[in-house]
């Protein structure tokens, strides 16, 4: 049963507009980010383009003056103004929390089967971490290799082959360490094998 659907049916979900301009993080960035750029400019330095994009998008996230949708209830005709969000993956607390909640609900309700799973934590050498941080497409290819290797190992260990068993996995990429330094790693959750006949009628 969907957790989100249950909450909506019971009426426990209530919309409240996010007001980032009232948060301490927003106020600090809004005040000091221009000064920081100016300071770096005086030293003939500049932030990478993707870093500037994160800051600039965050300062517009959730602010009505940068665009919004007007949402109206068809039953009671009550209206809400919903501000556009940045949808970034950097440090925006609102977008990060929403993506985390939506991803968790999707996995619990629709993706993960009612079978045990195994968790694999991948930690890469520092040289590769810097490479993955600069070229994310390379990390995608590496994770593909790791997944195929694990699939082959588990299939053979269980005494099946690719025709009689099927594996699946969900990979969560962690892009920073405990000190908030850029340190890509990955957590791979892999479903344990089951014969094809046991999954008859289940969506693949």
Cα–Cα distance for residue pair 132/129, rounded to 1 Å? 5
Cα–Cα distance for residue pair 200/147, rounded to 1 Å? 24
Answer yes or no: is pLDDT of 45 > 80. Answer: yes
Distances (CA, A) of 198 to 165, 168, 194, 201: 10, 15, 7, 9
* Residue ranges of domains in the chain: 3-83, 113-199
Where does the pLDDT of residue 121 fall: very low under 50, low under 70, confident under 90, or very high at 90 and above?
confident
Average confidence score pLDDT of the chain: 79
Q: For the segment 134-175, what is each residue's pLDDT rounded down to a tens digit?
A: 788 888 898 889 888 988 888 888 888 878 887 888 888 876
pTM: 0.61
Strands 68-72 and 79-83: antiparallel
């Amino acid at each position: 049963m969907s957790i989100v659907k249950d909450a909506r049916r019971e009426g426990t979900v209530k919309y409240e507009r996010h007001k980032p301009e009232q948060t301490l993080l927003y106020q600090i960035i809004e005040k000091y980010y221009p000064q920081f750029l100016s300071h770096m400019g005086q030293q003939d330095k500049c932030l990478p383009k993707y870093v500037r994009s994160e800051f600039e998008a965050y300062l517009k996230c959730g602010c009505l003056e940068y665009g919004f949708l007007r949402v109206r209830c068809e039953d009671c005709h009550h209206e809400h103004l919903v501000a556009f969000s940045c949808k970034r993956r950097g440090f925006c607390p609102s977008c990060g929390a929403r993506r985390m909640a939506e991803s968790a609900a999707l996995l619990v309700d629709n993706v993960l089967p009612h079978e045990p799973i195994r968790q694999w934590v991948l930690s890469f050498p520092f040289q590769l971490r810097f490479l993955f941080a600069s070229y994310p497409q390379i990390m995608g290819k590496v994770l593909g290799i790791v997944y195929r290797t694990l699939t082959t190992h588990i299939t053979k260990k269980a005494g099946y082959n690719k025709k009689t068993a099927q594996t699946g996995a969900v990979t969560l990429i962690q892009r920073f360490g405990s000190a908030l330094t850029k340190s890509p790693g990955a957590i791979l959750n892999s479903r344990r094998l089951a014969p094809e006949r046991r999954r008859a009628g289940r969506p693949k």
